[in-house]
């Protein structure tokens, strides 16, 4: 099943953070689309939950050094 | 990974420690302790370069040559040649600049943030036994009834099930004015209950509410890049590595490491990268605060170029519902006759009849209790009946002719004048004689004439009206407004054809419609502006959504677009001027690493401050418009 994950991060300031997060999340198995909203500080990703769990994706982002303030999974 | 996160979270204190170390270093220099001076500054450099190098490495792993990489290499270079003071100051300025950037950027984003914070996170749900439970808004489902208390924001879209109160819908419409809501009224999530007490039955919850849609739209819009931004992004992608290569060449050719690392620092494209996006973020945020949703930087660009505004008439220039605009009474008491007509019309559901009933109600006439007998509705003609022994007919000329009512010359003239003005007419006869003439027309929005003048002043060259209505009505409306071009009796497809024709003639066309029946034109125009509806269709097909049907918002949006684009240009010019200045400074020999970094960071703040001027553009909106929900 395709799910949609929305992460709310802290303020993002460097434009290169965007590429960083986007690439890192995209490289995970089962991730279909990733969009980082620079100004809103949000990461939106569509993923196949049979291949990867939402928690794993959240960890990918927090391991890059960005605090994940809240996360939400909805049906795509 | 843990270390990385810790450093990221503690960059601010690290920056301050570095500042203290540098201050200590210069103090020891003043105290004639050169060893301590060098030691402290070296320590400061090492400490400060860690977070920068970390970012550089992370970016490099995803194949991005970042500004941080340039700075890291430069600092290591400076360290190697023993320029500890330069390396310390450069890294400190970079960190400190980022810190200020973060604070000021947060300001430019504050409009949307204050918007999102209006949505409550919990709701009080009414249980079957009449008690309430506090639950997370995400757990609400449609059909739930929530209790809203004064001072709280509504958690859902819905209808008032019980109670009444004054609701401030500024978050959705941009208009801060309490609207009285009673049982059955529609209310929106994000609106504030200023006083009263409401039970609201949810029709939309969570991400489906109008408010959530608006927030999502604005968030996406702020990240939708303008043409300038896209260009700069592509430019920066090659520019930054190019600086690295140039510095390397300079180093190899001149064998001067100091010069090479200075080039690295001076080459950072700081203000250029941040300048354009920050203007758009501030501009889009300003719009959101005024009930104007602009879908991204590219839309801002195109909107600013618009020279032709094409308006749909019904529901856009006019209020979209007929109202009594003229009332001529030939004999009898005006209100008495109108009340009788209203009673008669209460039998029919014809729009003209509804307008008459509304007029009677507005005058406070008690018509409902009038004794009506032998009434009859004649399709396509009107209504007849007997009230208090008098035979009364209300309808068109055909109806009156059939009842043998003849018009005097003066009455005929009055009727013709009315029709020439584009109004529909209802003739009223009592006992075979014409007593009243009622003119009904779709009224212009009161603020339109002034707004159109303002649009022209702001740079619009052609104002065009397209309508499906008849020519007489259309011409009357256009003349009242000073519209340049009118085309009447059009089908939706004809409107699209006109828009295309104007585009082919080299005009930049914006189409303004209500977003319900003119989606094809909205989609065809360079900029589609949907007015007065937050419906999904309108949001989908248009480029700009004016949440409330109000022409002042249109004028504000147009001025804002022009202002935002000018602001972006200013920022790009500032950024380029800084780079040129630094280059000249380098050649002339008055700019080195630390001063170069200082100029860079200062220029970044200058462009952010420049963009911040957009946040308060236009001030708070005046509250003199129509109620959007009416």
CA-based nearest residue in chain B for residue A36 = B223
A/B interface, count of CB pairs below 8 Å? 72
For B3-28, letters b (16+ CB in 10 Å) and e give ebeeebeebeeebeebbebbebbeeb
Which among B62, B66, B219 is the nearest to A23, CB-wise?
B62
Q: Read off the pLDDT band of B565 (50, 70, 90).
A: very high
Q: Read off the pLDDT band of B507 (50, 70, 90).
A: very high
Q: A43 is in which domain, residue-wise?
A: 2-75
Which residues, 6+ apart, have CB-to-CB distance to B599 below 8 Å? B578, B581, B582, B585, B591
More confident residue, B99 or A65: B99
Q: What is the mean pLDDT of residues A23-38?
A: 88
Residue for token pair 């604070």 = B103
- 8 Å CB contact between B346 and B357: yes
Residue for token pair 């190019």 = B242
CA-based nearest residue in chain A for residue B216 = A40
- 8 Å CB contact between B110 and B286: no
User: Does B5 contact A63 at a Cβ distance shorter than 8 Å?
Assistant: yes
Q: Fold for domain B119-152+156-204?
A: 2.70.150
Q: Read off the pLDDT band of B108 (50, 70, 90).
A: confident
CATH 3.40.1110.10 location in chain B: 319-443
Q: What is the mean pLDDT of residues B238-244?
A: 85
| Rounded Cα gap, residues B608 and B603, in angstroms | 9
Least confident of A25-39, B42-56, B264-278: B264-278
pLDDT digits (tens, 9 = 90+) for B145-183: 999 888 888 889 999 998 888 888 776 766 667 788 888
Which residues, 6+ apart, have CB-to-CB distance to B378 below 8 Å? B384, B395, B399
Architecture of domain B319-443: 3-Layer(aba) Sandwich (3.40)
| Rounded Cα gap, residues B549 and B285, in angstroms | 20
Among residues B144, B312, B514, B543, which one is catalytic? Answer: B312
| Rounded Cα gap, residues B178 and B170, in angstroms | 9
B342-349, long-range: CB < 8 A, 24+ apart = B342/B367, B343/B367, B343/B368, B343/B370, B343/B372, B343/B385, B343/B387, B344/B372, B344/B375, B344/B383, B344/B384, B344/B385, B344/B387, B344/B392, B344/B394, B345/B383, B345/B394, B347/B375, B347/B377, B347/B383, B347/B385, B348/B377, B348/B383
Q: Is the pLDDT of residue A55 over 70?
A: yes
Q: Is the pLDDT of residue B516 over 90?
A: no
Question: What integer pLDDT is reported at residue B310 of this predicted model?
Answer: 94
Average pLDDT, chain B: 84
Which among A13, A16, A74 is the nearest to B59, CB-wise?
A16
Q: What is the mean pLDDT of residues B180-204?
A: 88
Q: Is the pLDDT of residue B362 over 60?
A: yes
More confident residue, B233 or B325: B325
| Rounded Cα gap, residues A7 and A59, in angstroms | 11
Q: What is the mean pLDDT of residues B226-253?
A: 83
Residue for token pair 């605060």 = B289
Q: What percent of chain B has pLDDT over 70?
A: 95
Question: What integer pLDDT is reported at residue B506 of this predicted model?
Answer: 93
Question: What integer pLDDT is reported at residue B175 of this predicted model?
Answer: 63
Q: Tell me the shortest Cα–Cα distance from B55 to chain A, in angstroms.
A: 8
In chain A, DSSP finds a helix count (H) and a strand count (E) of 2, 4
Whether B312 is a known active-site residue: answer yes
Q: B105 touching A, CB under 8 A?
A: yes
Question: What integer pLDDT is reported at residue B533 of this predicted model?
Answer: 57
Question: What integer pLDDT is reported at residue B526 of this predicted model?
Answer: 92
User: Does A23 contact B102 at a Cβ distance shorter than 8 Å?
Assistant: no
CATH 2.70.150.10 location in chain B: 119-152+156-204
Question: What integer pLDDT is reported at residue B554 of this predicted model?
Answer: 93
Q: What percent of chain B has pLDDT over 90?
A: 20
Q: B109 touching A, CB under 8 A?
A: yes
| Rounded Cα gap, residues B556 and B281, in angstroms | 17
B204-263 residues touching A, CB cutoff 8 A: 207, 219-220, 222-223, 233
Question: What integer pLDDT is reported at residue B140 of this predicted model?
Answer: 87
3-state secondary structure of B625: coil
Least confident of B426-435, B467-476, B489-498, B505-514: B467-476
**Maximum CA extent, chain A:** 34
Average pLDDT, chain A: 84
Range with the largest mean pLDDT of B100-104, B436-440, B557-561: B557-561
Q: Is the pLDDT of residue B87 over 90?
A: no
More confident residue, B41 or B173: B41
Q: Is the pLDDT of residue B624 over 50?
A: no
- Residue B96: closest CA among B36, B38, B17: B17
Question: What integer pLDDT is reported at residue B146 of this predicted model?
Answer: 92
- Residue B523: closest CA among B549, B501, B547, B495: B495
How many folded domains does chain A comprise? 1
Question: What integer pLDDT is reported at residue B176 of this predicted model?
Answer: 64
Contact residues, chain A, for B105 at CB < 8 Å: 11, 13
Contact residues, chain B, for A42 at CB < 8 Å: 219
pLDDT digits (tens, 9 = 90+) for B436-454: 999 888 888 888 999 999 9
- 8 Å CB contact between B448 and B427: no
* Kind of pairing between the strands at B145-148 and B132-136: unpaired
Q: Tell me the shortest Cα–Cα distance from A37 to chain B, in angstroms.
A: 6
Least confident of A53-67, B325-339, B521-535: B521-535
Contact residues, chain B, for A71 at CB < 8 Å: none
| Rounded Cα gap, residues A34 and B427, in angstroms | 65
**Angle at the Cα of B416 (from B414 to B421), degrees rounded to 5?**
100
Q: Can you give the CATH number for the domain in which A42 is found?
A: 3.30.70.100
């Amino acid at each position: 099943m395709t799910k949609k994950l929305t992460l709310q991060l802290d303020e993002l300031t460097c434009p290169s953070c965007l590429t960083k997060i986007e690439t890192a999340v995209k490289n995970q198995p089962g991730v279909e689309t990733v969009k980082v909203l620079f100004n809103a500080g949000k990461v939106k990703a569509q993923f196949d939950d049979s291949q990867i769990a939402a928690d794993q994706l959240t960890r990918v982002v927090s391991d890059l050094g960005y605090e994940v303030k809240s996360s939400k999974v909805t049906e795509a | 990974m843990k270390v990385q996160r810790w450093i990221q979270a503690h960059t601010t204190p690290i920056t301050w420690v570095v500042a203290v170390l540098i201050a200590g270093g210069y103090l020891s220099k003043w105290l004639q302790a050169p060893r301590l001076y060098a030691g402290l500054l070296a320590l400061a450099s090492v400490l400060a370069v860690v977070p920068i190098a970390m970012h550089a490495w992370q970016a490099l792993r995803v194949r991005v040559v970042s500004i941080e990489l340039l700075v890291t290499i430069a600092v290591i270079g400076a360290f190697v040649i023993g320029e500890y003071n330069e390396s310390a100051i450069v890294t400190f300025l970079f960190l400190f600049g980022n810190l200020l950037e973060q604070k000021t950027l947060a300001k430019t984003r504050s409009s949307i943030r204050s918007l999102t914070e209006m949505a409550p996170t919990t709701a009080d749900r009414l249980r079957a036994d009449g008690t309430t439970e506090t639950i997370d808004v995400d757990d609400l489902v449609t059909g739930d009834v929530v209790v809203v208390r004064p001072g709280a924001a509504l958690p859902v879209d819905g209808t008032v099930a019980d109670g009444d109160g004054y609701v401030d819908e500024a978050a959705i419409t941009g208009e801060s004015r309490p609207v009285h809501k009673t049982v059955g009224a529609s209310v929106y999530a994000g609106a504030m209950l200023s006083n009263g007490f409401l039970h609201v039955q949810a029709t939309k919850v969570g991400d489906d509410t109008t408010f959530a849609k608006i927030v999502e739209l604005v968030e996406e819009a702020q990240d939708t890049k303008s043409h300038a931004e896209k260009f700069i992004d592509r430019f920066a992608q090659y520019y930054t590595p190019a600086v690295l290569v140039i510095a390397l060449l300079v180093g190899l050719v001149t064998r001067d490491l100091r010069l090479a690392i200075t080039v690295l620092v001076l080459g950072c494209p700081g203000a250029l990268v941040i300048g354009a996006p920050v203007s758009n973020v501030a501009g889009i945020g300003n719009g959101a605060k005024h009930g104007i949703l602009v879908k991204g930087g590219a839309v801002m660009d195109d909107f600013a170029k618009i020279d032709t505004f094409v308006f749909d008439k019904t529901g856009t220039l006019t209020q979209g519902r007929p109202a009594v605009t003229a009332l001529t009474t030939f004999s009898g008491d005006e209100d008495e006759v109108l009340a009788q007509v209203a009673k008669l019309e209460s039998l029919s559901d014809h729009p003209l009849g509804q307008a008459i009933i509304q007029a009677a109600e507005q005058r406070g006439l008690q018509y409902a209790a009038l004794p009506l007998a032998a009434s009859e509705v004649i399709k396509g003609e009107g209504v007849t009946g007997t009230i208090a022994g008098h035979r009364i007919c209300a309808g068109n000329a055909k109806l009156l002719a059939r009842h043998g009512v003849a018009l005097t010359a003066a009455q005929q003239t009055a009727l013709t004048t009315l029709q020439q003005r584009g109004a529909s007419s209802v003739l009223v006869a009592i006992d075979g004689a014409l007593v009243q003439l009622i003119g009904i027309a779709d009224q212009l929005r009161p603020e339109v004439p002034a707004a159109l003048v303002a649009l022209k002043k702001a740079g619009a060259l052609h104002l065009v009206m397209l309508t499906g209505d008849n020519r007489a009505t259309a011409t009357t409306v256009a003349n009242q407004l000073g519209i340049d071009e009118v085309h009447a009796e059009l089908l939706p497809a004809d409107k699209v054809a006109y828009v295309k024709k104007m585009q082919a003639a080299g005009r930049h066309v914006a189409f303004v419609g209500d977003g319900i029946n003119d989606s094809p034109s909205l989609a065809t125009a360079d900029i589609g502006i949907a007015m007065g509806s937050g419906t999904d269709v309108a949001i989908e097909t248009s480029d700009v959504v004016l949440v409330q049907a109000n022409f002042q918002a249109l004028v504000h949006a147009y001025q804002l677009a022009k202002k935002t684009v000018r602001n972006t240009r200013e920022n790009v010019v500032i950024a380029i001027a800084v780079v040129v200045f630094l280059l000249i400074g380098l050649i002339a020999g008055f700019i080195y690493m630390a001063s170069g970094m200082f100029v860079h960071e200062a220029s970044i703040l200058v462009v952010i401050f420049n963009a911040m001027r957009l946040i308060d553009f236009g001030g708070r909106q005046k509250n003199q418009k129509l109620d959007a929900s009416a």
